[in-house]
Amino acid sequence: MHVVDTNFSFPASHAFIRACQEAGIPRNRDLNGFNYEGCDLFQVNQTPEGRRCHASSSFLNPVLHRDNLTVITHALVARILFQGKRAIGLEYYPLKKNKRLMTLSAKKEVILSAGVINSPQILQLSGIGPGGDLEKLGIPVVHDLPGVGRNLQDHPDVIIRCLDKSKTSFCTSPGPHTLKFLSRYFSKNPPFIFTPTDAGGFVKSDPSVEIPDLQLQFAAIRMQPHGHGLLTPARFGFVLHVCHMRPKSRGRVSLRTADPFDPPRIEPHYFDDEFELDALVKGVKIGRDILSQPAMKAFNGGEEVPGPAVKSDREIRHFILEKMETVYHTAGSCKMGVDDEAVVDPELRVHGLESLRVIDASIMPTITGSNIHAPTVMIAEKGADMVLEEMR
3-state secondary structure 84-102: CCEEEEEEEEECCCCCCCE
Whose CA is closest to 364, among 324, 325, 329, 328?
329
Clarify whether 329 is annotated catalytic: yes
Distance CA 363, CA 141 (A): 22
Side chain identity at residue 197, one-letter code: T
- Among residues 177, 241, 244, 329, the one annotated as catalytic is 329
Whose CA is closest to 214, among 282, 291, 316?
282
Q: DSSP string of 309-330? A: T--SHHHHHHHHHHH-EE-S--
- Phi then psi dihedrals of residue 14, to 5 deg: -70, -35
What residues does 350 pair with on adjacent strands?
A: 344
Around Cβ 173, how many Cβ atoms within 10 Å?
10
Around Cβ 386, how many Cβ atoms within 10 Å?
16
- Phi then psi dihedrals of residue 296, to 5 deg: -95, 0
Distance CA 121, CA 103 (A): 19
Give kind and range of the element (H or E) at residue 356: strand 356-358
Whose CA is closest to 77, among 43, 112, 36, 32?
112
Distance CA 249, CA 235 (A): 37
Angle at 245 between CA 243 and CA 251, to 5 degrees: 100
Give kind and range of the element (H or E) at residue 104: strand 102-105
Distance CA 287, CA 218 (A): 10
Sign of the dihedral defined by the CA atoms of residues 167, 169, 171, 175, in that order:
positive
Distance CA 199, CA 19 (A): 12
Residue 190, preceding bond cis, omega within 30 degrees? yes
Whose CA is closest to 110, among 136, 92, 137?
92
Q: Contact 128/105 with Cβ under 8 angstroms?
A: no
Q: Which residues are catalytic?
A: 329
